[in-house]
A and B are shown apart, each in its own frame.
Chain A
Amino acid sequence: MRTTETNEAGLIARILAGEKELFHELIRPYERMVYLTLFSIVKNETEAEDGAQETVISAYRHLASFRGDAKFSTWLVTIAINEGRKRLRKAKTAAEESIEEKMEAHEGDYSPAPLTDWREIPLEALERKELREALRVAVTELPDIYRQVFALRDLQELNVEETAQALGINPGAVKVRLHRARMMLQKRLVPYLKTTAPARRLFFGRAL
């Protein structure tokens, strides 16, 4: 990690000093993160890709304003989020947005699905394409505020602080939203997880 950051600081300094081409190299490790961040907001592949390109161009143009007090990845993800929100605002009415904001205040049921017979999830169940597809759909259909936190924490593996900073919310809200997102997904995916009867006793969480 430290090496990455040192290298990055070096790269950034050289780019700012005129070696523009190095920006390709600087951005390469984060291409996936940028795309997925956009996708988690706009939920459309074409929009996400366009937004990812805009994000990278914008990061390049504003590189001089990167201070180095945040991690480059957090700075970049913040630009991606803003780009995504901008695109979303264009596509979406204000009314819809306010409904979602209200959802957080609701004391909904965010408990998991309590079943016992899918404890033993065979490795091959997790390897199935249908399960991946089901997860993709379930994540895409999470309410925006939950999906965005989930994407940053569990897909991009940012920590709580970085996620809070990138989304402009407090760390407590990150934890609450993440918990709800995970429980909603768990509940949603239970039917897929239990469709395959355990054939052999090798379980993902255990075997690794």
Chain B
Amino acid sequence: MKLDCQHVWEHISEYIDGSVDAKLREDIERHLEHCEICSAILDSTRNILILTADDRTFELPVGYSERLHERLAKELENPDGDLKKK
């Protein structure tokens, strides 16, 4: 089946996740071979995802981990803070 661009866009997310079926994957790939626009959309979306997963993009506040473990240590010391049995 020959896909139009709109159709490819609708499935671009699932295509990236590898969750389209084999037939659709093949159709999309055939479309991408000759369509610069859809290839560009695919590449830019992928790049955004790479950037999102990069630890430098979403950073933790300085000292976050230390404060967290400090607070936890206090909780663990607390004699009333016994683990609930249920």
Contact = CB atoms under 8 A, between A and B. Distances in A.
Among all A-B residue pairs, the 7 with the closest Cβ atoms: A179-B13, A119-B40, A112-B41, A132-B57, A114-B37, A20-B76, A186-B45
Contacts of B60: 31-32, 35
Sorting the interface of chain B by its residue count into under 10, 10 to 19, 20 to 34 or 35 or more gives: 35 or more
B48 A116 contact: no
Given A16-B83, A116-B37, A24 B72 contact: yes
Contact of B12 (A20, A112, A136): A112
| Prevailing SS type, chain B contact patch | helix
A185 B83 contact: no
Contact of A116 (B40, B84, B86): B40
Interface string B44-71: 1111111111111110110011011101
25 contacts: A15-B83, A20-B83, A24-B69, A27-B72, A31-B65, A31-B68, A32-B55, A36-B58, A52-B64, A56-B71, A61-B83, A62-B84, A65-B84, A112-B9, A112-B12, A113-B41, A114-B5, A116-B36, A116-B37, A136-B58, A154-B52, A154-B53, A155-B58, A193-B44, A204-B50
Given A31-B68, A65-B86, A186 B58 contact: no
Given A65-B86, A115-B40, A205 B52 contact: no
Contacts of A183: 9, 12-13, 45
Interface in A69-104: none
Given A45-B61, A179-B13, 6 more contacts: A16-B83, A20-B83, A111-B9, A118-B44, A135-B48, A175-B13
Contact of B71 (A57, A64, A157): A57
A130 to B, nearest CB: 12
B14 to A, nearest CB: 7
Nearest to A111: B9
Contact of A53 (B16, B41, B71, B86): B71
A145 interface: no
Interface residues of A, number: 57
Contacts of A154: 49, 52-53
B41 A186 contact: yes
B47 A205 contact: yes
